[in-house]
């Protein structure tokens, strides 16, 4: 048996090696070129640039991504990195659908580069945020935070915690947002992270329509030189809602000058076009037209973002594809079966018989254990029943009217009561042991309370020979006078019937 297992294990191992070698038949040159592209993309990324936009060729990056995507795991160690760079390039070229697909593929690459995975999930969260899918964006940011934590990159982890809080703020979830922000400020001392938490607070106040708090928070940001277009837009909206047209116009103009995103542009143009006291009709027409253009562009981008989010939702809801695993298992099964048949034919009858004997021994052990368990359970039941009978006897014998309460003077009535309540004891004594009426009465008294010789003599109207009489009855039952009480209790409980 041991030899059989060795043969099967050896052949299976060889089969796995052959399969791995076949899967790893990648071209050394193409792999080396793809790795060089990843190294260049990393270098540009550390400079704050994007490969294919600020340097390098986008087609080369696409070719490297495809090459890595078709490499097996052992050959494609940079698959996660190239997917990240290629996905960033596609986002920069306003192609969120393909970018999302690339990021999704990267999450299935089984890479252990948690830093890259953190950035990939962060990008997926950003796409969801732009599409207005804030709960899904929160989920992706949460995954990203976990990756950075596994990578021990605490700074990125806290940035992602703030991104999660930002999505909660978008939904107006005050308590959850403040809890996350408090956790960040308590454990993180980085100034950049704290600045981002102020931005999140401003957004929360905007969602809660606390316009004064929005302005105060953004003033704090601007006092340290932070003038992001999103904050300018929030401030313009706050002044507009507070009916401070001059300040609203000022910040709306600054938003437009900063070449904002379409969503910010729409908000800024709305404020500018609705401040009729400070601009003429021609300006209103121009602003309204510009706002319409921004809305069309925004709607077009939203449709693509919605498609990207749909891809992510389909991936999250899809069932895992194990076809590759089934193929490997089928191959191993065929090889293993063939080897097993070959090995089986080499075994002699002695080994087969030995296996059968072992099986029988195992079954025998199991049956013995089961039998012992049944016996133990039966003994526990009998002991419990004997205790109950003992208690019932005590109750009857300690009653004031004992033995009249068991119809002592009427043997037939007493026999019926004892038979009904004490396991047909009278019938057993008559049919099995052939005792007389007086002998049965003695047994009933001994079972009930095991009285002294004098008490027995008085109840049975027997003389000094009561002890001899008791010994003779006990002998008939196969016991002695000392153990007679216990014997009768057990006989009543059917612990033994003879």
pLDDT in tens, 79-94: 788 888 888 889 888 8
Average pLDDT of the residues of the chain? 82
Tell me the β-bridge partners of 55: 51
- For residue 73, how far is the Cα from the chain centroid? 27
Is the pLDDT assigned to residue 192 strictly greater than 80? Answer: yes
More confident residue, 288 or 104: 104
Is the pLDDT assigned to residue 197 strictly greater than 90? Answer: yes
Is the pLDDT assigned to residue 101 strictly greater than 80? Answer: yes
- For residue 23, the model assigns a pLDDT of 46
Roughly how many angstroms between the first and final C-alpha of the chain, as a whole number?
52
Once rounded to an integer, what is the mean pLDDT over residues 451-473?
83
Is the pLDDT assigned to residue 382 strictly greater than 90? Answer: no
Once rounded to an integer, what is the mean pLDDT over residues 384-404?
85
Indicate left, alpha or beta for 331 from its phi (over 0: left) and psi (-120 to 50: alpha). Answer: alpha
Once rounded to an integer, what is the mean pLDDT over residues 220-233?
85
More confident residue, 105 or 77: 105
Taking only the tens place, the pLDDT of each residue in 367-377 is: 888 888 888 87
More confident residue, 211 or 24: 211
More confident residue, 476 or 336: 476
- For residue 280, the model assigns a pLDDT of 56
**In which band, very low, low, confident or very high, does the pLDDT at 295 lie, cut at 50, 70 and 90?**
low
More confident residue, 141 or 34: 141
Residue 55 DSSP symbol = B
Cα(43)–Cα(49) distance, integer angstroms: 9
**In which band, very low, low, confident or very high, does the pLDDT at 128 lie, cut at 50, 70 and 90?**
very high
Cα(321)–Cα(255) distance, integer angstroms: 47
Once rounded to an integer, what is the mean pLDDT over residues 322-330?
76
3-state secondary structure 136-195: HHHHHHHHHHHHHHHCCCHHHHHHHHHHHHHHHHHCCCHHHHHHHHHHHHHHCCCHHHHH
- 428, 491 contact by CB (below 8 A): yes
């Amino acid at each position: 048996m041991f030899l059989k297992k060795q043969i099967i294990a050896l052949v299976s191992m060889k089969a796995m090696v052959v399969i791995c070698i076949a899967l790893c038949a990648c071209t050394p040159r193409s792999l080396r070129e793809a790795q060089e592209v990843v190294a260049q993309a990393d270098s540009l990324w550390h400079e704050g640039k994007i490969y294919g936009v600020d340097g390098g060729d986008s087609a080369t990056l696409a070719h490297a991504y495809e090459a890595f995507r078709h490499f097996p795991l052992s050959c494609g160690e940079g698959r996660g990195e190239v997917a990240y760079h290629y996905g960033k390039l596609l986002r920069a070229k306003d192609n969120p659908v393909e970018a999302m697909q690339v990021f999704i593929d990267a999450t299935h690459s089984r890479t252990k580069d948690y830093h890259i995975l953190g950035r990939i999930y962060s990008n997926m969260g950003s796409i969801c945020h732009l599409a207005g899918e804030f709960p899904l964006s929160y989920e992706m940011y949460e995954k990203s935070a976990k990756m950075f934590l596994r990578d021990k990159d605490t700074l990125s982890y806290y940035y992602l915690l703030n991104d999660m809080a930002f999505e909660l703020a978008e939904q107006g979830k005050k308590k959850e947002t403040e809890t996350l922000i408090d956790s960040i400020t308590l454990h993180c001392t980085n100034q950049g992270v704290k600045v981002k938490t102020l931005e999140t607070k401003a957004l929360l106040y905007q969602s809660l329509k606390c316009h004064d708090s929005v302005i105060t928070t953004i003033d704090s940001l601007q006092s340290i030189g932070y003038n992001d277009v999103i904050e300018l837009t929030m401030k313009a909206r706050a002044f507009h809602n507070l009916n401070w047209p001059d300040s609203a116009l000022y910040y709306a103009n600054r938003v437009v000058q900063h070449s904002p995103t379409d969503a910010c542009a729409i908000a800024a143009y709305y404020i500018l076009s609705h401040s009729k006291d400070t601009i003429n009709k021609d300006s209103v027409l121009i602003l309204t037209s510009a706002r319409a253009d921004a809305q069309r562009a925004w709607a077009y981008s939203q449709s693509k973002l919605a498609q990207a989010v749909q891809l992510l939702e389909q991936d999250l809801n899809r069932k895992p594809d194990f076809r590759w695993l089934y193929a490997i298992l089928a191959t191993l099964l065929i090889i293993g079966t063939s080897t097993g048949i070959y090995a089986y034919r080499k075994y002699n009858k002695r080994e087969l018989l030995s296996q059968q004997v072992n099986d029988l021994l195992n079954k025998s052990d199991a049956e013995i254990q089961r039998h012992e368990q049944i016996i133990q359970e039966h003994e526990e039941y009998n002991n419990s029943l004997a205790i109950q009978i003992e208690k019932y006897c005590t109750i009857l014998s300690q009653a004031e009217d004992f033995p009249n309460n068991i119809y002592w003077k009427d043997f037939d009535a007493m026999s019926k009561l004892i038979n009904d309540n004490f396991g047909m004891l009278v019938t057993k004594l008559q049919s099995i042991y052939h005792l007389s009426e007086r002998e049965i009465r003695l047994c009933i008294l001994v079972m009930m309370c095991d009285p002294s010789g004098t008490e027995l003599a008085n109840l049975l109207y027997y003389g000094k020979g009561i002890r001899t009489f008791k010994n003779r009855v006990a002998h008939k039952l196969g016991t002695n006078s000392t153990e007679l009480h216990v014997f009768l209790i057990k006989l009543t409980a059917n612990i033994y019937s003879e």
